Amino acid sequence: MVRRIVIGFVALTVAGLALLAPTPQVQADELAGPTAAQLKARAGGCETQLSNGKYAQDSGGSRTVAVCKSGDAVHWTADFDVDCDGQRTTQCNENTDPSFQPNTSWNQSDGRPLNAAGLPFIVVPLSSTIWNFRNAGINGATIAAVVYQDKVAYAVVGDQGPTGIIGEGSYKLAQQLGINPNPSSGGVSGAVVTYILFPGISAVPIENQTDATAKGQTAATAFVNNTQTCASTNLDLTAYPALQAGSTGGAVRAAQCLLGGTNEPSGTYDTATTDAVKAFQTRVGLPSDGLIGAKTWTALLAAGDQPTIRNGSTGTAVSRLQRSLTAALGRTVIIDGQFGPATETAAEDYQRTRALIVDGVVGPVTWTALQAGK
């Protein structure tokens, strides 16, 4: 296995050994994106504390780590414990890790657990009274920038850990950060690693490191510059509120990105936004009042192609369905890109209340209804 992400190198396996054939391209640490110093400086404060209290870094330790929000990013600074759970590999198994578990909270697109030795991912605490990560728009595959000393690595949310502890990442992520990845003796102590998560921005599929790095660099740049682009805007809200002229905030930015016409949403519901809403409403057959309510949200969030998806499906179309069902039903449908029993129930509820065939399968008929704001 290649011990670090290298862009522009070809991995060749000979007799079980990984060899690197160089090409003229650049390495990952030379790619565009903010420096470690820039990211640590931007996440150095705590504009809003999201956690109800603080986390310990180790079992039985003092609770000193708060989960914060600055701009649209969620962040904390803690130690780094090595997670080796998931697929059995030479690096991660019952012999190398006494606490090894052959599963992860989120799976690859093929249904298999994540590969901790091959995929950089972070671990979030199980939801509790301290903090529910889902309320912050975070789910499996949410992209994060992780900073240690002068290194920056891009990872995804891939597993969940104990409710009272924070500060954990995969074997591969430890390697990328220059931290000893040994699950028994590795990691690093002290509040020296900064974890910066970008809600609503996900790798597709979860194991796509190239996608995570590209999107992560864009989101991290916007975070450091304290600016918003559509690539860094959170579309995965737990509710989609009614909006009108004069409204401001993240939901307005989300709507502006969905309406198109700008890559730098202002977050202010101005005249141009009103005009864009009216044009969209006319196009899909809704009353052209310039207000964004449940029907307009539903149509905006559902817009796109109409693939047939069902229980077991994964990907961006599932996330799009989950967003539109959240708006249409007026209740939170977890947006994680995985079509499981909860999404199936929500789809059936939508079909039932719209006099459609109730089978939990979302095909062209259900998509057409959603895209019309029904």
The CATH number of whichever domain residue 278 belongs to comes to 1.10.101.10
231 domain-assigned:
no
245 domain-assigned:
no
Q: Are the beta carbons of 190 and 121 closer than 8 angstroms? A: no
Domain count, the chain: 3
Asked if pLDDT for residue 58 goes beyond 60, the answer is yes
Q: Residue 362: which of 326, 316, 299, 313 has the closest Cα? A: 313
Asked if pLDDT for residue 216 goes beyond 90, the answer is yes
Helices (DSSP H) in the chain: which residue ranges? 36-42, 171-177, 209-224, 250-259, 271-284, 294-302, 316-329, 341-353, 364-371
Give the DSSP H/E element, type plus range, for residue 193: strand 188-202
Residues 320-344 have a mean pLDDT of: 94
> Does 95 share its domain with 176?
yes
Residue 179: helix, strand or coil by DSSP?
A: coil
Q: Are the beta carbons of 141 and 205 closer than 8 angstroms? A: yes
* Separation between Cα atoms, residue 179 and residue 255, nearest integer Å: 41
Read off the pLDDT of residues 168-180 as tens digits, 9 standing for 90 and up: 999 999 999 999 9
> Does 161 share its domain with 297?
no
* Separation between Cα atoms, residue 355 and residue 154, nearest integer Å: 45
Q: Looking at residue 44, which CATH number applies to its domain?
A: 2.40.40.10
> Does 213 share its domain with 258?
no
Residue 160: helix, strand or coil by DSSP?
A: strand
pLDDT for res 16:
35
pLDDT for res 10:
32
Answer yes or no: pTM beyond 0.75: no
> Does 222 share its domain with 82?
yes
Domain extent at residue 21: 1-30
Q: Are the beta carbons of 57 and 78 closer than 8 angstroms? A: yes
18 beta partners: 13
> Does 70 share its domain with 123?
yes
Read off the pLDDT of residues 94-113 as tens digits, 9 standing for 90 and up: 999 999 999 999 999 999 99
> Does 47 share its domain with 166?
yes
> Does 337 share its domain with 308?
yes
Residue 111 tokens read as 């249904």
Q: Residue 141: which of 83, 199, 228 has the closest Cα? A: 199
* pLDDT band with cut points at 50, 70 and 90 for residue 259: very high
> Does 199 share its domain with 285?
no
Asked if pLDDT for residue 12 goes beyond 50, the answer is no
CA distances to 170, 257, 305 from 204, in Å: 19, 19, 17
Give residues with Cβ within 8 angstroms of 196, minimum separation 6: 39, 43, 73, 74, 75, 144, 145, 146, 147, 220, 223
311 domain-assigned:
yes
pLDDT for res 337:
87
> Does 67 share its domain with 113?
yes
> Does 123 share its domain with 171?
yes
131 domain-assigned:
yes
Q: 10 Å Cβ neighbour count for 306? A: 16
> Does 78 share its domain with 145?
yes
> Does 84 share its domain with 222?
yes
| Average confidence score pLDDT of the chain | 89
Read off the pLDDT of residues 112-134 as tens digits, 9 standing for 90 and up: 999 999 999 999 999 999 999 98
153 beta partners: 146
Question: How many Cα neighbours within 13 Å face the side chain of 180?
Answer: 8
